[in-house]
Amino acid sequence: MGGDRQGRVKLDQISRIFAFPNPVNEIAARTVAAGVVVMATSILVTGWTWLLVPLAYGFVARVLTGPTLSPLGQLATRVIVPRLALAERPVDGPPKRFAQAIGATLTAVASIAQFGFGATTLAMVLVGMIAVAATLEAAFGYCIGCKLFGALVRFGVLPDGVCAACADLSLRQRLS
């Protein structure tokens, strides 16, 4: 009996690690995006393609665990955002996770292109796309991945239940 309980406790701990927050603090999300802009721009300006590795890791970590295993997520949520004199701005978590998944995909493909095939131009184009998307998020709060997620819900590609506010824009306006 005791072993079964310990197993459930460990499973619960693992489930908490691999959970994505919902809602997400938009201020923290925009702060993370600013960090992504810095990293992506550094790659583009310096040609330091080795930075693809921590950039890709960060996206994958945020998809799997939110900020829990992401150094940039931890810096944003534990250090930078608490020091800002801004009120928390909750937004839906599922679209943010989807946006992180797009970033993870782009950085993974860029890494494979660069390190697997020496396709630096392709890698740089993909990093440029990440830089543009992250700049829009950081500077203007415009999340391309979130907009795409909402469209996929509205067109029935993703089920409504995955994000009620994404499927019903009037609900989102009432919640704001």
Q: What is the pLDDT of residues 103-133, one digit of tens each?
A: 999 999 999 999 999 999 999 999 999 999 9
Q: How confident is the model at residue 174 (pLDDT cuts 50, 70, 90)?
A: very low
Among residues 14, 18, 98, which one has the least CA distance to residue 59? 98
135-140: Cβ within 8 A, 24+ apart:
135/33, 135/37, 137/29, 137/30, 137/33, 137/99, 138/30, 138/31, 138/33, 138/34, 138/36, 138/37
**Does the pLDDT at position 58 exceed 60?**
yes
Q: How confident is the model at residue 7 (pLDDT cuts 50, 70, 90)?
A: low
Angle (CA) 28-130-23 rounded to 5° is: 30
Please tell me the predicted confidence (pLDDT) of residue 160: 81
**Does the pLDDT at position 78 exceed 70?**
yes
Note whether 18 and 64 are within 8 A (CB). yes
**Average pLDDT for 32-54:** 98
Who has greater pLDDT, 45 or 173? 45
User: Rounded distance, CA 141 to CA 29, Å?
Assistant: 9
Beta bridge partners of 90: 25
Q: To the nearest whole number, what is the mean pLDDT of the chain? A: 90
User: Rounded distance, CA 25 to CA 122, Å?
Assistant: 33
Q: How confident is the model at residue 165 (pLDDT cuts 50, 70, 90)?
A: low
User: Rounded distance, CA 135 to CA 131, Å?
Assistant: 6
Report pTM: 0.87
Q: How confident is the model at residue 170 (pLDDT cuts 50, 70, 90)?
A: very low
**Average pLDDT for 9-21:** 78
User: Rounded distance, CA 163 to CA 126, Å?
Assistant: 28
Note whether 36 and 55 are within 8 A (CB). yes
User: Rounded distance, CA 53 to CA 51, Å?
Assistant: 5
